[in-house]
Structure 1
Amino acid sequence: MLLSSVLGKGHVHQIPKDGMTKFIRSVAEEKHEAGQPLYVLDLATIEGLMDKWNHSFPNVKPFYAVKCNTEPALITKLANLGANFDCASLVEIDSVLSLGISPNRIIFANPCKAISHIKHAAAVGVNLTTFDSEVEVDKIKKWHPQCRLLLRIKAPNDSGAMRPLGKKFGVLPEEIEPLLHYACNVAGLKVVGVSFHVGSIAQDPTIYREAIANARAAFDVADYLGIPKMQILNIGGGFRSSTSLFEEIAGVVNEAVKDYFPDPNLTMIAEPGRFFPETAFTLVTHVIGKRVRGEKIEYWIDEGIYGSFRPTLYNSCFVGIKPLSTKASEESSQICESTIYGPSCDSLDEVAVDIKLPELQLDDLIVFYNMGAYSKYVGSKFNGFDMLSTPTYLVSTNSS
């Protein structure tokens, strides 16, 4: 399948930068009844974010973390812009390969893989993966011995990260030497570099410097053991695009690499997830129910925490909310204390509690911005509501 074919399947609507509201209204009115939410993906935003990445990290190849959002149009656009891909499972690998993307653009970045997934990676030609235990070495030796390996080291603890990953992944400093010896000198596998991940949404840029220093120490251990020169440094993820912290992190990383890895032949990669899709996706929902209790109003919409809003239980501060009457002339000026519920019969299915909204009517829209990261694709079919089938419309905004 050609990389352009997925984008070709869905028409890309060219709209002005300030035309999103008009587009949302038109799509909702013409094609969607209440009960069916929809997404809008702005491909121009993806282009801008790739420019931003390349400016801040000119020497770091992004391997987009597919688990964050597997929308084919997003993956295709990123591939066309030069990104590679971080996959964690057989299904993710196949989802990328099905778009015509070469297996040599994939890293199997899961330190613990099922044997069936390792066999599949070998069969389709995905030949780069991570590891952090002797058992994983044994599995790879038996089922994919030609695979190149990155040693996953435990990252320094960033207490401000939304989801620190060091508890589950990565070798401790004292484990590096024996594990490298086992992988290279005993099993005879090829370890070509070091990988780390400081955690989702890192808050302390200096953590990256410490992690890079630890990676340097692992490279030095490999040299001491006589292992052929390692060449790859994988700095993982943890990046958001919508704050100045990204530029701070990039500055720290670039300076640390100069200090600890002066070798011009070093290959640097990263595994950004939410950096690319978070701000590019907009979710449009319909008001399907309403109850007035005194001065407060409760609304039901056709999406909830068992669909796109499951991750927002943890990162709701990133999401923007905009009510939108289906008829532009009927916007209400009355602001009310409001709660938004999802469609399921679970009382915990609360999308937003005690927020200020103008009074809305049935079939009006509530639009949620910054909804591209860990949203639709962590959804379920709980209570019979199939959130995975939510359609995505493609637009490309421009300044004209």
Structure 2
Amino acid sequence: MKFSNNDIKLTQNKQLLPNFVNKSFSNNSATKIINVSNSPVSSILHDTLAGMNSDDESDAFYVCDLAQVELQFHRFKKLLPRVIPFFAMKCNPDENVIKTLINLGAGFDCASKNELQTILNLGVSPSSIIYANPCKQASHVRYAAKNEVSLMTFDNADELHKIKAIFPTAKLVLRILADDSRSLCKFGVKFGASLSDVSMLLQVAKSLELDVVGISFHVGSGCYDASAFSDAVLLAKEAFDIGEKLGFNFELLDGNFQNLIDKLILLVGGGFPGYGAEGVSFEQIALKLGPVIDACFPPHVKIIAEPGRYFVSNAFTLAVNICSRRKIKVSDCDATKEFRYYINDGMYGSFNCITFDHYKPIPKILKAKKNFYYQKNEKLLEELYSSSIWGPTCDSMDVIATNYLLPELEIGDWLYFDSMGAYTSAAGSVFNGFMKPRIFYTNTLH
């Protein structure tokens, strides 16, 4: 789509536009975050272990430092000042994380009625929510309509007919298919309209008198090439241009043609890495993404993103207890030992991220032989053995790590795993009766 000074005019119907506000909560006071200390993570880990006097209390637990969420938010706004972050709550729907982001002024990316309800019940304005599921259950669309959550995505004609029947005043964002071949988790196999389908879909929307306000894409999660983001923006620009060639111009509203260019939206998806993650950094992505956005789209186009893991991965530390141990001789003529350690969280709980998110958690010693080792540089001056770590369930697939070199540990010792905030407890189950770990909160900035 081409823009000129003459084209850029403010609509007289601003009440019909998504209202991007500085704060995403509608009440006058900040959302209260409860049960939060300001102690260092190391102190909480140490004191929690010290307070466990019986085996019945040796359950796995998290320590969440909400300061990491705040720091990531400010980092995002500094490096991509034009982009409004809408937290993808599927990544970690923890209430204190959400409240922290509400108070910072983030928007929210929801994919279901329950997620919408959770956010709305916390006082978030409907205008600060995008219903970013291209294929939605009809009853969930009705809930969105009833609660005035108007901004939502689509990628097929059947979805347009559904929305026309249920929520004809919705503000629609067409999700196009981006190249996600450079990501670990690819979404293009499920969502996204190819560029060749854009013309047809916009014509269907126009014939139904539906209001299409923008284009979205997602390069996939775990992206390891920053240029995937800039390439996708160029593709989105082509989609905007297709609309102009059709005479569509995204100007159809309630059957009347009006110039509503100031409300156009570009949704640049998620896939932003957490702090310190391997591979491409957020800084590298921002250096690619920011300039191409400015080159392709004028300031009147609203730019939003859907970061998830970016905010939360580094905020959560998981502590687990070694419940059982097996010592294995490699062979009858070889005295070398191999150890199998069984801990009280696993693949059906926090470590589902191994299967669903391609994460490779690294076990570290938290407490062994009554000594506390969290983030200590000193090495255990002991012989190291090949070790594997298993979850607590009766499923043989419940294996967390293999072929790790660890000193000989004992039943009752503790391990910890850094960067366990993304796609961990969110998809965890209580399979075999093992409960999800409790969470202790701190904010080391306050």
1:108 Cα deviation from its structure 2 partner:
0.3
Q: Between 329-338 and 86-95, report the one with greater CA deviation.
A: 329-338
Q: Describe the SS at the equivalent of 2:421.
A: coil
Q: Name the counterpart of 1:311.
A: 353
1:260 aligns with 2:296: yes
Larger Rg: 2
Name the CA distance, whole Å, in 2 between partners of 1:325 and 1:100: 42
Name the CA distance, whole Å, in 1 between partners of 2:368 and 2:150: 51
- Alpha-carbon contact 2:266-2:302 (below 8 Å) kept: yes
User: 1:377-399 CA distances to partner (integer Å, 9 max, x unpaired)?
Assistant: 11112112232xx2111112259
Q: Name the counterpart of 1:235.
A: 268
Residue among 350, 360, 363 paired with 2:412? 363
Aligned amino acid, residue 202 of structure 2: L
Q: Name the counterpart of 2:366.
A: 324
Q: Scaled by the length of structure 1, what TM-score is found? A: 0.92
Q: Between 124-133 and 204-213, report the one with greater CA deviation.
A: 204-213
Name the CA distance, whole Å, in 2 between partners of 1:77 and 1:317: 25
Q: Name the counterpart of 2:310.
A: 275
User: 1:111-163 CA distances to partner (integer Å, 9 max, x unpaired)?
Assistant: 0001011011111221100001111001111111111000101112x323011
1:174 Cα deviation from its structure 2 partner:
1.5
The residue correspondences of 1:198-217 to structure 2 (distance < 5 A) are: 198-217=219-238
Residue among 38, 47, 55 paired with 2:61? 38
Q: Name the counterpart of 1:298.
A: 340
Q: Name the counterpart of 1:79.
A: 102
1:178 aligns with 2:214: no
1:50 Cα deviation from its structure 2 partner:
0.9
Aligned amino acid, residue 39 of structure 2: I
Q: Name the counterpart of 2:438.
A: 391
1:354 Cα deviation from its structure 2 partner:
1.5
User: 1:3-60 CA distances to partner (integer Å, 9 max, x unpaired)?
Assistant: 755512x1x22124xxx33320211332684552111110111111111111111000
Question: Gaps (5+ residues) in structure 2?
Answer: 1-24, 252-260, 330-336, 374-379
User: 1:40-87 CA distances to partner (integer Å, 9 max, x unpaired)?
Assistant: 110111111111111111000000100000100001101111111000
Question: Gaps (5+ residues) in structure 1?
Answer: none
Query: Cα RMSD between the aligned structures?
Result: 2.1
Q: Describe the SS at the equivalent of 1:275.
A: helix
Aligned amino acid, residue 345 of structure 2: E
- Alpha-carbon contact 2:152-2:172 (below 8 Å) kept: yes
Residue among 136, 139, 144 paired with 1:121? 144
Q: Name the counterpart of 2:397.
A: 348
1:246 Cα deviation from its structure 2 partner:
1.4
Name the CA distance, whole Å, in 1 between partners of 2:428 and 2:359: 19
Q: Between 30-39 and 244-253, report the one with greater CA deviation.
A: 30-39
Q: Describe the SS at the equivalent of 1:374.
A: coil
- Alpha-carbon contact 1:14-1:396 (below 8 Å) kept: yes
1:226 Cα deviation from its structure 2 partner:
3.2
Name the CA distance, whole Å, in 1 between partners of 2:125 and 2:248: 32
Aligned amino acid, residue 14 of structure 1: N
CA 1:4–1:397 in structure 2 vs 1: closer, same or farther (change >3 Å)?
A: same
Q: Scaled by the length of structure 2, what TM-score is found? A: 0.82
- Alpha-carbon contact 2:219-2:229 (below 8 Å) kept: yes
1:91 Cα deviation from its structure 2 partner:
1.0
Residue among 183, 189, 206 paired with 1:161? 183
Residue among 247, 253, 273 paired with 2:283? 247
Name the CA distance, whole Å, in 2 between partners of 1:347 and 1:35: 23
Name the CA distance, whole Å, in 2 between partners of 1:112 and 1:223: 26
Indicate the percent of aligned positions where both proteins have the same amino acid.
37
Higher helix proportion, which one?
Answer: 1
Aligned amino acid, residue 188 of structure 1: E
